[in-house]
Amino acid sequence: MKKSTDMKELNKQISGYNFRKRVRLFPEEKIAIAAVPMLVISLTLIYFLTPPPPIETPIQTPIGIPDIPVNPESDFIYEFGNVLDGIVIKKYIGESTHVNIPATIEGKEVVGLWGFSQQSASWLLFPPTHYNSVFNDKVEYIIMPDSVIWIAQHTFENCTSLKKIIIPDSVWHLGAYAFKGCINLSEIYISENINEIRWYTFADCTSLEYVFLPEGLTTIWGSAFYDCENLKYVYIPNSVLGIGTRAFDGCEKLDIIVKPLEKGLVMCYNINYEL
């Protein structure tokens, strides 16, 4: 019995010694210090090996424009244009901030918005050197009829109160500077039949955040979206073959998804490419 008791005592002493040795060799402070490099390495691996989250692609939603009665013919200065073979509106002179352009004036279709005189085809040989904005800076909403096919340069330039507009699919020409300086324009639908966004078309539209360019578009000219400082997303269809220099210059918040075309992305930050 004594021998058994001695063995038990010896085992206790050995176990206690080993335990104390382990504590002395690996105190809590040393364990914590040793764990720091491992934690840093683990976090670094997680950062580099974890794929980035997918880019959320906005969806174009219908543009809500209030019901607006058709404006009377007396609200417009207009003329019959031989070039477009229809009525061309040169100036809106009405008082309402909501404009619904009539489809016909004096029994003839309204086919264009054109802030200069074009009585004959002579403008093809001697194009005007000065264009005027058709609408004033008080207009908030504009509805165009499906008869309109041509929107000339500067048509809506500096319409600072304009908030939303739908360019109907009948339109196949959208002139340069058309919406330049429309600082409150937040929503726009662009005709599916437009194949070019010309220079400075949407420059200084500082309230635009999302733009959906139509399928079939082939060219975005230089400075088309110059200084749209709040623009976050632009949908560019695969049909686009060229983007002009500085097309998105000054769009500091832009997170754009495009095929990797280098031209036109000069000084444009936060760009993501998707093949």
Lowest mean pLDDT: which of 79-83, 132-136, 187-191, 195-199? 79-83
User: How many residues does this entry show for the chain?
Assistant: 275
In a domain, 101, yes or no: no
Q: How far is CA 14 from CA 5, 23, 26, 92, 113, in A?
A: 14, 14, 18, 102, 100
Mean pLDDT over 207-223 rounds to 91
Domain containing residue 35: 2-49
Domain count, the chain: 1
Residue carrying structure tokens 């364990």: 31
Q: Is the pLDDT of residue 34 over 60?
A: no
In a domain, 33, yes or no: yes
Lowest mean pLDDT: which of 186-190, 241-245, 271-275? 271-275
Q: What is the pLDDT of residue 5?
A: 54
Q: What is the pLDDT of residue 160?
A: 95
For residues 200-209, b (16+ Cβ closer than 10 Å) or e, as one string? Answer: bbbbbbbbbe
In a domain, 215, yes or no: no
Q: What is the pLDDT of residue 237?
A: 85
In a domain, 26, yes or no: yes
In a domain, 257, yes or no: no
Q: What is the pLDDT of residue 83?
A: 77
Q: What percent of the chain has pLDDT over 70?
A: 64
In a domain, 158, yes or no: no
Q: What is the pLDDT of residue 263?
A: 44
In a domain, 20, yes or no: yes
Q: Is the pLDDT of residue 121 over 80?
A: no
In a domain, 56, yes or no: no
